[in-house]
Amino acid sequence: MSRDLPGVVRLRDRSEELTLRTILTAARVLFAEHGYARTPIRLIARQAGISPQTIYAHFGSKAGVLNGLVDLLDDEAGLPDLVAELDALRDPTELLGLLAKAARQMRERCGDILTILNSGAAVDPDIAATQAEGARRNRLGVEMVVERLHGTGHHVHPRAADIAVALTSEGVHDSLVIDAGWSHDEYESWLRQALATALLP
């Protein structure tokens, strides 16, 4: 009977969420250290301090764990909070600032996950599929912002989504932050201005 009480359900949900995060954090570290192909489930289980059966019960397979990293990326980059902010914004430059902030937080907080996906996509179909799902989600997020831009009544470039995806890409970030030594603040500020110039002619 007590299992049906709301407090008990919330506690169980919290416990499950903690287990999922523990598994994904362990996988994140091991995939970065050893590569996806050379990281068996049993090693992830040992690192997480749980049984392999628990991982299979939650994710079904190692590919499922990899897919879970995309959810972890969204969460750690703060994307749900930024999407929630989107509803309150009407100014086009603020909308584009939100897009720039999302790109910055994704690269700054989750660059290791993106590296795992990029380095393995060419040789492993599981990683390629997960990378494609991440790219699909990213495009959907950009299209949400572009749709809101159209709703402001401003003229928006007809290929705004394509341009925004290109400007917020990992290659542009890495060229400026990693290769040229820009700070993330400088990158975000530049990206905000570049998006406004390109999308709001």
21 and 51, same domain (yes or no): yes
44 and 115, same domain (yes or no): no
3-class secondary-structure state, position 27? helix
Q: Could you give the angle at the alpha carbon of 100 between the alpha carbons of 91 and 24, nearest 5°?
A: 130
Q: What is the CATH number of the domain that holds 12?
A: 1.10.10.60
86 and 173, same domain (yes or no): yes
Integer Cα distance of 120 and 128 in angstroms = 7
8-state DSSP, 155: -
Domain total of the chain = 2
156 and 190, same domain (yes or no): yes
Range of the structural domain that residue 31 is part of: 2-60
Residue 12 pLDDT? 54
Q: Where are the alpha helices (DSSP H) in 35-180?
A: 41-48, 52-59, 62-76, 79-86, 92-121, 125-151, 160-167, 170-173
Integer Cα distance of 140 and 145 in angstroms = 9
Residue 65 lies in a domain: no
Which residues in the chain land under pLDDT 70? 1-12
